[in-house]
């Protein structure tokens, strides 16, 4: 039995998913939107990128289903729950989470990465890992063959799952020409790699362990939710402000334009890192002086994460607003806008019906480019110590820790490589999908 826990970031993420579902249902009733999204569905690159993004989103959603486990109690005693807040992803990765080591170990290793004194003697050697390769016992000669067998088993399982999905997707093929083959070609390496890693993770640390013995693969998967939250929630804060002020400044003009320009010029003149650092530190003081607001450490860390998203959103809208203002200045001089003005259409109706649709391709590409930049910004802020809470696992905290590990001799490289690999895949997939969506929604490219 468990006690469900709903963090504020979980609630906002679920609201965002519900809003996306609502927008999809609404878009299906609009002919122009249905035609634009049809072009996206027929684009092989877009569907491949969407498949990769879907995998990341599923992992992030699993990590957003939080709960507190029930503690063992004697009959007649009140029900008690653990203080630690865990997620469904933690339950699925319980072997990786609980089977830690003493300190660093290389990927797929059976011994620690550094020599230690053995017993009371002065001899130094590489101690055996408690979990990594423990099933081999003393037969270390079978290490290579055991890895090969596990990889082969994982590949076979991955192929079997791919064939099942292939049959299912082909049965669901629709006449709209959806690029199902691109989805299948993307799923094949994902399932093969996932199957091999799952088989290896049952007996080894696939990406090694960090300084305190935590599995790096587990840390990488846990970092996905943080990256998705910072990218999406910050964009939700930034985008409405940037679109509204940018279109108002470009279309209305006059003192409204002067005021908005003064506002974003002033914000842009302040170094971004210093402004964000000052705001984050002020929020941290508020969090530290009100510990009664938070029942668990997870709620405290979640509050700092949401504060970081809010601050990033309030300080990163200026570039998009400036871009939309310049494009609106051009659009308001075109014939269809002047014709609407001549017929007496109101300002806000013109901005909503004629200006905004012709800016959506810019909004979409700026949205995803900012998503990529925000994922990277979190790494920079964590580097200077004003990012997410130290207890929150993220790509930034992994890279910051790996920075110090690179100075070791021998060098510890796998933490940085794992964080960079997952972050690169996330950002690349988002950028490729954004390019396809921009081309589909750009009125100048629509056929």
Contacts of 188 (CB under 8 A, 6+ apart): 162
Give the per-residue pLDDT at 54.
Answer: 92
DSSP state of 70: B
Distance separating the N- and C-terminal Cα atoms of the chain: 56
* Highest averaged pLDDT of the listed ranges 12-21, 200-209, 277-286: 200-209
Average pLDDT of span 286-306: 82
Q: Phi, psi (5° rounding) for residue 77? A: -80, 150
376-433 pLDDT per residue, tens:
777 778 777 777 887 888 888 888 888 777 777 778 888 889 988 998 898 889 888 8
pLDDT the model gives residue 445: 61
Least confident interval from 6-10, 60-64, 71-75, 304-308: 71-75
**Alpha-carbon gap, residue 233 to 218, rounded angstroms:** 24
Q: What is the pLDDT of residues 340-377, one digit of tens each?
A: 888 888 888 888 888 888 887 778 777 777 777 787 77
- Kindly report the length of the chain: 447
Whose structure tokens read 């530290």?
A: 288
The two tokens of residue 236 are 């939700």
Average pLDDT over residues 289-298: 80
pTM reported for the whole predicted model? 0.87
pLDDT band at 190 (very low <50, low <70, confident <90, very high): very high
**In angstroms, rounded to a whole number, what is the distance separating the alpha carbons of residues 207 and 221?**
12
pLDDT value for 159: 94
Strands 86-87 and 116-117, how do they pair? unpaired
Q: At what angle do helices 216-251 and 360-383 cross, to 10 degrees?
A: 130
């Amino acid at each position: 039995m468990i006690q469900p826990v709903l963090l504020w970031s979980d609630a906002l993420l679920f609201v965002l998913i519900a809003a996306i579902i609502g927008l999809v249902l609404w878009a299906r009733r609009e002919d122009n939107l249905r035609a634009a999204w049809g072009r996206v569905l027929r684009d092989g690159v877009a569907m491949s990128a969407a498949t990769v993004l879907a995998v990341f989103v599923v992992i992030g959603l699993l990590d957003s289903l939080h709960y507190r486990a029930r503690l063992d109690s004697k009959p007649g005693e009140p029900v008690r729950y653990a203080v630690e807040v865990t997620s469904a992803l933690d339950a699925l990765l319980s072997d990786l989470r609980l089977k830690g080591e003493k300190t660093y170990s290389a990927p797929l290793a059976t011994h620690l990465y550094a020599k230690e004194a053995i017993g009371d003697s002065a001899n130094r050697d590489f101690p055996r890992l408690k979990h990594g390769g423990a099933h081999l016992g003393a037969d270390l000669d079978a290490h290579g063959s055991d890895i090969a067998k596990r990889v082969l088993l994982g590949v076979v399982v991955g192929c079997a799952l791919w064939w099942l999905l292939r049959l299912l997707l082909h049965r669901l093929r629709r006449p709209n020409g959806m690029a199902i083959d691109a989805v299948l070609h993307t799923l094949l390496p994902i399932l093969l790699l996932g199957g091999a890693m799952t088989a290896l993770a049952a007996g080894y640390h696939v990406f090694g362990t960090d300084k305190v013995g935590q599995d790096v693969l587990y840390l990488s998967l846990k970092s996905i939710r943080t990256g998705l939250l910072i990218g999406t929630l910050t964009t939700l804060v930034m985008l409405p402000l940037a679109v509204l002020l940018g279109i108002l400044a470009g279309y209305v003009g006059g003192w409204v334009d002067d005021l908005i320009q003064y506002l974003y010029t002033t914000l842009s003149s302040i170094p971004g890192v210093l402004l964000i650092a000052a705001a984050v530190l002020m929020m941290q003081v508020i969090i530290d002086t009100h510990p009664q607001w938070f029942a668990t450490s997870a709620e405290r860390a979640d509050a700092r994460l949401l504060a970081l998203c809010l601050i990033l959103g309030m300080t990163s809208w200026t570039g998009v607003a400036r871009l939309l203002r310049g494009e609106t200045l051009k659009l308001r001089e075109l014939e269809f806008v002047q014709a609407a003005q001549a017929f007496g259409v109101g300002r806000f109706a013109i901005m909503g019906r004629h200006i905004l649709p012709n800016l959506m391709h810019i909004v979409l590409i700026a949205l995803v480019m900012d998503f990529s930049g925000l994922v990277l910004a979190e790494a920079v802020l964590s580097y200077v110590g004003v990012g997410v809470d130290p207890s929150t696992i993220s790509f930034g905290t992994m890279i910051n820790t790996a920075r110090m590990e690179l100075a070791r001799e021998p060098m510890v490289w796998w933490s940085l490589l794992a964080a960079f690999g997952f972050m690169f895949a996330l950002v690349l997939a988002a950028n490729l999908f954004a390019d396809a969506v921009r081309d589909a929604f750009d009125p100048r490219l629509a056929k």
